[in-house]
Amino acid sequence: MTQTILLRLPNWLGDSVMCASAFEKLKIMYPNAQFVLVGSYVCEVFRRDKRVRAIYLDESKRARNRLLSLYRLCRQIRTEIGDIDLSFCFSNGFFGALLLYLCKAKVRVGYAKNLRSPLLTHALTPPTLTPLHQVQKYEYLIKDFVDSTIFTSFVPLSLVRGDESKITHNTKKHIGINPGAAFGWAKCWEKEYFVEIITRFVSRGWEVYIFGDTKNLTTQSNEHIYDLSNQTTLTELIDSIGALDLFITNDSGPMHIAAALHTPTIAIFGSTDTADTCPWNEKIAKEFFLPMHALLERKNVLDSTHTPKNITTFEALTADNLTILSKHLQCAPCKKRTCPLKHHLCMKLLTPDEVFESTLSVLEKSPHTKEF
């Protein structure tokens, strides 16, 4: 019997990508199920997944009457999809849980917050164990609906790649630059620092591809610089990032896409928390975060067999093809959109020399690249 499982994804790109491992575990547990995804435009990152039956865009927040708009969306879903056997709300807002309720899903799972519990059949208390990554917090929502072997296993983030890359195929180095972040400029490395390293890359004959927000990022016109900012669909963004030799980025949605594609990445952190949203891979999971069975046992596993290292003590950390740079100042992570102290030292103290040296190190070691 084919089951239908609805996932209400988070509205932010990076958070939706961080749901990918929970999504994958559900696919493993329910091999005959079809999935319905609801959320913002970022749901499109899963468009190519053959297990996805339909994607619905929730634009009710922009509507004059949000309740009426949401009701109409849910009625459309019920009409076109039919019965929904199981549903998960990975977003934390009230209206995400209300969507599950209005879709009349038989089982409705989400975190018990924001007055949502009456709308859910399974309202879970968020885990308080530390250290836990945001990926693990999303996985926790499915703990009662997959067997323990699947739940406790490491499943990497993954996205389906296609052939829509905008990267030129040649023998040169292809370096991606992502100077923006949707949440706010406090998360962003200094624009003049990005310009400086771009200049260094171009002087070596490397090709530089710029993604995302390029506001106030002024570079000289050069045949080796390709500005793809605001010029890619999400599927084109996925394929382009996947074709790079290296991706240099702030903490952002494209950073998590790169991690899911196993693209060598240098991730720059300042106002946000590496202990919560750093790029995710198996080595990082095993060295710096609690194992998943700790969530089932509801206790910290801090013994001789597994004592997670404190990721916030590393200013420069390399784990396989991921490099994370952060000064971990006393005022960080403030998690603010703009620097509350007005100095932005968490980013200013991280110099172009440090990023360039990390670039050379990554390109020398990475099997993803051509010979350096």
Give me the tens of pLDDT residue by residue for the chain, a chain 372 residues long. Answer: 679 999 999 999 999 999 999 999 999 999 999 999 999 999 999 999 999 999 999 999 999 999 999 999 999 999 999 999 999 999 999 999 999 999 999 999 999 999 999 999 999 999 999 999 999 999 999 999 999 999 999 999 999 999 999 999 899 999 999 998 887 889 999 999 999 999 999 999 999 999 987 776 777 778 899 999 999 999 999 999 999 999 999 999 999 999 999 999 999 999 999 999 999 999 999 999 999 999 888 666 555 456 899 999 999 999 999 999 999 999 999 999 999 999 999 999 999 999 999 999 999 876 554 432
Q: Among candidates 129, 119, 1, 123, which has minimal Cα distance to 70?
A: 119
Peptide bond into 308 cis (omega under 30): no
In terms of residue numbers, what domain contains 228?
174-365
Instruction: Kindly report the CATH number assigned to the domain that includes residue 83.
Output: 3.40.50.2000
Q: Are residues 205 and 114 in the same domain?
A: no
Structurally, how many domains does the chain consist of?
Answer: 2
| Three-state secondary structure string covering 59-93 | CHHHCCCHHHHHHHHHHHHHHHHCCCCEEEECCCC
> Does residue 312 form part of some domain?
yes
> Does residue 197 form part of some domain?
yes
Between CA 242 and CA 149 the distance in angstroms is: 30
Q: Among candidates 200, 211, 207, 216, which has minimal Cα distance to 250?
A: 211
Q: What is the structure's pLDDT at 219? A: 74
Helices 94-102 & 66-81, crossing angle to 10 degrees? 40
Between CA 16 and CA 19 the distance in angstroms is: 5
Q: Are residues 199 and 81 in the same domain?
A: no
Q: What is the structure's pLDDT at 107? A: 98
Q: What is the enclosing helix (H) or strand (E) of 356?
A: helix 352-365
Between CA 344 and CA 338 the distance in angstroms is: 8
Between CA 252 and CA 17 the distance in angstroms is: 11
Q: What is the structure's pLDDT at 371? A: 34
Q: What is the structure's pLDDT at 217? A: 77
Are 86 and 145 contacting, i.e. CB atoms less than 8 angstroms apart?
Answer: yes
> Does residue 321 form part of some domain?
yes
38: which 2 tokens?
Answer: 């609801």
